[in-house]
C-alpha cells in the first residue's frame, strides 16, 4: 500500500491559489458541449473526475481542446450529442455520471455507462425513474437502481417529471441540465426534502449563463421554458473549489494562521463558501474579499464545541468532523445522511478513522457525535478511495501529531496537488538531526543543544542499547532477527528526565557498558529491528522541536529534518574521550581495546545494508577533534540560529 507520512505541525500560515471547482468545471463542460458556439473555459480543474468528463465528451463527438494554463476550448454541438453509439467509463465521477445519464437519455442513441466498483454501489434509481417517466428507455446492466446502465433510443419528451430530492441533489441537477434538449416546456417536481440546495443553485446559475432561465417555486418546482436552447456565453471563469478551500481555512483556524485562499470569495456561487461561516461559529477569525477568504485561530486559541445542521455543506462538513478534534468539548454534526452514498460511506469511514486518533465517536444514521481526546494519537489513516478522507485527515498533524495517509493518490479525484500545497502552508515541528560515529560527542552536544533551545531530545542509540540489554536478559542471540524484533516491538521503555527505565529498572548506566555497546551495534544491522524502532523514534518529535542523535536521524528517521549535522572526530580523539568517560565512572578499560572496539563498531555501522552511517550531502560537518564540548555546542546553535534568521528574513 502506498502511503504518505506527514509530520506533526507547529502551525499553518500562508497564501495559496485554489484549484478550479469540480462542480463548476464538470457542469460548465457539459453545458458548453450542448450549447451553440465555442466556449472558452478558464481555470478548469485538472483532476480525475474532470478527465472522465472530457473523455466522455470526446467520445460523444464534442471537440474539447485543453491548454496547459487551465484553459479549455469547447466547440458546442448545439443540441443532443451527434455520436449515437458510445461506451463510456466514468470512474467514480458522480458529477459526470448523473448529468450524462440524463443528457444521453435525450440524445436518441445507444449508450453504455459504467464506472469503478464504488460507482456501481451509488444509487441512481431515482434519476432513472424520473427519466423513464418522460419516455426514456434505460436498462440496468447490473443491480436494479445502480450503474452500470444501457441507454436506448427512447421517446423522452419532457412535460412533467418527478424526482426525489432527499438522496442526491445531483439527480435534480442532471434533469435540469438535460431537459432543455427536449425543446418542450418541462416541469420538475421534487419529491421529499431537497438536500444540498446550494449545489442546485450552482446548476441554475450556470444554466442562466448559458442562456436558459429556469423558473423556480421554492425548492419544490422548477420550470424549463419551451424552446430553451443553450448558447455559449463566450468565456467563462471557473471559481476556485470552495470544498477544497475548507481544508486550508480549517488549517488557519486550527494552526494559528492566517491562511488565505484565493479563487473564492464573497461573490462565490458555491454553497461550500458557507463553511467559512461555520468556522466563524466555532470562534475562528474569518475575513473575506471579492476573491479570497482568510482564516485565523480564535482569540483564545481553541475552537468552540459545536452542534450544527450541515445539510447545506455536505462536502465541506467533513472538514468540520476533523475540526471537532480541536474543539473545547463534544461536537455534533447533524443532517449528513447523504455522506453514506458518496465516494464511500463517509459516516462509517469518518467514525472509524477519528477513533484511530483517539476520539470517542457515536455514529448515528445521519449524524456524528465526536468527543475530542485530551491528546491526539498518531495513526495510519485509511482513505477508502475517497479524496476528502485523505485531505481531512492531513489536518490532524496540526494537533502536534504525526499521521500516515494510506493511498494518498486518491486526492487526484479533485486536487492532485493537495499535499504539495498543504506543505506550502504547513510549519512542521523542527528537527535538528545529529549523526556521527561512536564517541564523537554527538550525545553530549545534542543534549546540550536541546536544553539550550528548550526542545525535546532523542538518544536513538539508547533504543538499540536497550534492545541489546533486553536480548541479554532474555538470553536471545543478537543474530536471531525474529526474536530480537519481537523484543524491540514490545520494549517497555520510559525516558524520565535524564533516566532510562526498562520496565521498572533504571538502566541508564547499565546500557553504556561494553556488552550493550557491542550488542547494540549487532542488533542494529537487523532490518526488522530498525523498522520496529522507527515509529518509536518519530514519536519524540513534538512541539516546540526535537534534537535527535544517532546514525540515521537525517537519512532515514527524520529525512525532512530542517537542520542536519555530521559530528565526528579522529578515532584517536574518540578513543581518548571514551576512555576518560569510563575512567570517570570507575569502569576499567584500555585505550588500545577501546580504539579497536570503536573501529569495528564504526565499520559495522557504516557497512550495513540498511541505514548505514554516512555523511549526507545536506549535513553540516562538525569536526570536533580539536574542539571543546562548548565550542561544538556553540557551533551547532549558531548555525541553526543563522539559518532560522535567514528563513524569517
Catalytic residues: 315
| Strand 149-152 to 110-114 pairing | antiparallel
Min CB(496)–ligand LCLUPRNS separation in Å: 18
Q: Is residue 577 a contact residue for ligand ATP (CB under 6 A)?
A: yes
With CA atoms as reference, report the closest residue to 541 among 416, 378, 367, 329: 378
Task: Identify what 441 binds: ligand ATP, ligand LCLUPRNS, none; CB under 5 to 8 Å per kind.
Answer: ligand ATP
Q: Which of residues 133-162 bind ligand LCLUPRNS (CB under 6 A)?
A: none
489 is in an annotated binding site: no
Q: Is residue 465 a contact residue for ligand LCLUPRNS (CB under 6 A)?
A: yes
Min CB(558)–ligand LCLUPRNS separation in Å: 10
How many angstroms separate the CA atoms of 557 and 542, rounded?
Answer: 14
Task: Identify what 629 binds: ligand ATP, ligand LCLUPRNS, none; CB under 5 to 8 Å per kind.
Answer: ligand ATP
Q: Is residue 440 a contact residue for ligand ATP (CB under 6 A)?
A: yes
How many angstroms separate the CA atoms of 241 and 26, rounded?
Answer: 12
Binding mask 546-585 toward ligand LCLUPRNS (x if CB under 6 A, else -) reads ----xxxx--------------------------------
Min CB(595)–ligand ATP separation in Å: 14
How many angstroms separate the CA atoms of 612 and 606, rounded?
Answer: 5
Q: Is residue 440 a contact residue for ligand LCLUPRNS (CB under 6 A)?
A: no
Which range binds ligand ATP by CB under 6 A, 31-39, 82-90, 438-446, 613-621?
438-446
Q: How would DSSP label each residue in 501-534? A: EETTEE-TTGGGSHHHHHHHHHHTT-HHHHHHHH
Q: Is residue 601 a contact residue for ligand LCLUPRNS (CB under 6 A)?
A: yes
Q: Measured from the CB atom, is 428 or 554 closer to ligand ATP?
A: 554
Q: Measured from the CB atom, is 346 or 577 closer to ligand ATP?
A: 577
With CA atoms as reference, report the closest residue to 230 among 37, 392, 406: 37
Backbone phi, psi, residue 238, to 5°: -90, 125
Give the CA dihedral 459, 461, 462, 466, nearest 10 degrees: 150
Task: Identify what 627 binds: ligand LCLUPRNS, ligand ATP, none; CB under 5 to 8 Å per kind.
Answer: ligand ATP
How many angstroms separate the CA atoms of 442 and 438, rounded?
Answer: 8
| Strand 235-237 to 3-6 pairing | unpaired
Task: Identify what 551 binds: ligand ATP, ligand LCLUPRNS, none; CB under 5 to 8 Å per kind.
Answer: ligand LCLUPRNS
How many angstroms separate the CA atoms of 183 and 571, rounded?
Answer: 89
Contact, 70 vs 96, CB < 8 A? no
- C-alpha cell at position 331: 461536537
Indicate the burial class of 646 (C-beta count within 10 angstroms; 0-12, 13-18, 19 or more): exposed
Which range binds ligand ATP by CB under 6 A, 128-136, 236-244, 367-375, 626-634?
626-634
Chain residues binding ligand LCLUPRNS by CB under 6 A are 438, 460-461, 464-465, 520-521, 524, 550-553, 601, 605
Chain residues binding ligand ATP by CB under 6 A are 436, 438-444, 461, 577-578, 581, 624, 627-629, 632
Amino acid at each position: 500500500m502506498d502511503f504518505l507520512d506527514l509530520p506533526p505541525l507547529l502551525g499553518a500560515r500562508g497564501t495559496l491559489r485554489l484549484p478550479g471547482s469540480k462542480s463548476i468545471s464538470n457542469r460548465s463542460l457539459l453545458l458548453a458541449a450542448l450549447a451553440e458556439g465555442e466556449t472558452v473555459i478558464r481555470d478548469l480543474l485538472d483532476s480525475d473526475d474532470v478527465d472522465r468528463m472530457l473523455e466522455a465528451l470526446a467520445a460523444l463527438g464534442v471537440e474539447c481542446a485543453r491548454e496547459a494554463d487551465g484553459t479549455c476550448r469547447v466547440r458546442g454541438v448545439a443540441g443532443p450529442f451527434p455520436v449515437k453509439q458510445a461506451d463510456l467509463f466514468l470512474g467514480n465521477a458522480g458529477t459526470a455520471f448523473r448529468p450524462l445519464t440524463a443528457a444521453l437519455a435525450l440524445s436518441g442513441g445507444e449508450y453504455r455507462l459504467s464506472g469503478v466498483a464504488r460507482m456501481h454501489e451509488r444509487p441512481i434509481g431515482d434519476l432513472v425513474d424520473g427519466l423513464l417517466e418522460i419516455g426514456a428507455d434505460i436498462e440496468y446492466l447490473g443491480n436494479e437502481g445502480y450503474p452500470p446502465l444501457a441507454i436506448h433510443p427512447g421517446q423522452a419528451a419532457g412535460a412533467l417529471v418527478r424526482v426525489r430530492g432527499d438522496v442526491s441533489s445531483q439527480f435534480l441537477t442532471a434533469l435540469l441540465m438535460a431537459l432543455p434538449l427536449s425543446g418542450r416546456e418541462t416541469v420538475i417536481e421534487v419529491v421529499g426534502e431537497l438536500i444540498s440546495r446550494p449545489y442546485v443553485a450552482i446548476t441554475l446559475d450556470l444554466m442562466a449563463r448559458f442562456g436558459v432561465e429556469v423558473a423556480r417555486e421554492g425548492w419544490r418546482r422548477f420550470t424549463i421554458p419551451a424552446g430553451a436552447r443553450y448558447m455559449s456565453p463566450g468565456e467563462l471563469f471557473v471559481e476556485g473549489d470552495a470544498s477544497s478551500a475548507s481544508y486550508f481555512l480549517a488549517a488557519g483556524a486550527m494552526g494559528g494562521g492566517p491562511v488565505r485562499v484565493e479563487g473564492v470569495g464573497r461573490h462565490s456561487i458555491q454553497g461550500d463558501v458557507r463553511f467559512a461561516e461555520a468556522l466563524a461559529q466555532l470562534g475562528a477569525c474569518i475575513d473575506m474579499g471579492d476573491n479570497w477568504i482568510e482564516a485565523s485561530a480564535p482569540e483564545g486559541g481553541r475552537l468552540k464545541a459545536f452542534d450544527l445542521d450541515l445539510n447545506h455543506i455536505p462536502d465541506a462538513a467533513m472538514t468540520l468532523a476533523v475540526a471537532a478534534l480541536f474543539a473545547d468539548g463534544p461536537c455534533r454534526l447533524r443532517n449528513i445522511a447523504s455522506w453514506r452514498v458518496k465516494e464511500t460511506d463517509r459516516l462509517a469511514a469518518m467514525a472509524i478513522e477519528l477513533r484511530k486518533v483517539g476520539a470517542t465517536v457515536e455514529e448515528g444514521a445521519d449524524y456524528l457525535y465526536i468527543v475530542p481526546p485530551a491528546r491526539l494519537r498518531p495513526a495510519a489513516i485509511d482513505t477508502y478511495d475517497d479524496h476528502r478522507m485523505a485531505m481531512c485527515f492531513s489536518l490532524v498533524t496540526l494537533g502536534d501529531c504525526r499521521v500516515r495517509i494510506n493511498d494518498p493518490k486518491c486526492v487526484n479525484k479533485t486536487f492532485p496537488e493537495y499535499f504539495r500545497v498543504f506543505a506550502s502552508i504547513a510549519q512542521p515541528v523542527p528537527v535538528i538531526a545529529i549523526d556521527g560515529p561512536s564517541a564523537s560527542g554527538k550525545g553530549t552536544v545534542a543534549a546540550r543543544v536541546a536544553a539550550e533551545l528548550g526542545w525535546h531530545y532523542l538518544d536513538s542509540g539508547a533504543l538499540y542499547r536497550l534492545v541489546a540489554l533486553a536480548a541479554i536478559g532474555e538470553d536471545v542471540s543478537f543474530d536471531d532477527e525474529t526474536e530480537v524484533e519481537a523484543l524491540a516491538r514490545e520494549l517497555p521503555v520510559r525516558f524520565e528526565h535524564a533516566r532510562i527505565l526498562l520496565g521498572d529498572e533504571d538502566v541508564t548506566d547499565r546500557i553504556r557498558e561494553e556488552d550493550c555497546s557491542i550488542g547494540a551495534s549487532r542488533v542494529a544491522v537487523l532490518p526488522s529491528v530498525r523498522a520496529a524502532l522507527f515509529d518509536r523514534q518519530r514519536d519524540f518529535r513534538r512541539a516546540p522541536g526535537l534534537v535527535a542523535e544517532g546514525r540515521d536521524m537525517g537519512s532515514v528517521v527524520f529525512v525532512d529534518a530542517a537542520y542536519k549535522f555530521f559530528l565526528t572526530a579522529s578515532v584517536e580523539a574518540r578513543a581518548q574521550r571514551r576512555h576518560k568517560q569510563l575512567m570517570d565512572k570507575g569502569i576499567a578499560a584500555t585505550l588500545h581495546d577501546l580504539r579497536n572496539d570503536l573501529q569495528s563498531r564504526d565499520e559495522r555501522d557504516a557497512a550495513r545494508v540498511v541505514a548505514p552511517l554516512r555523511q549526507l550531502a545536506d549535513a553540516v560537518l562538525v569536526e570536533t577533534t580539536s574542539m571543546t564540548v562548548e565550542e561544538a555546542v556553540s557551533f551547532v546553535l549558531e548555525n541553526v540560529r543563522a539559518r532560522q534568521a535567514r528563513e524569517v528574513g
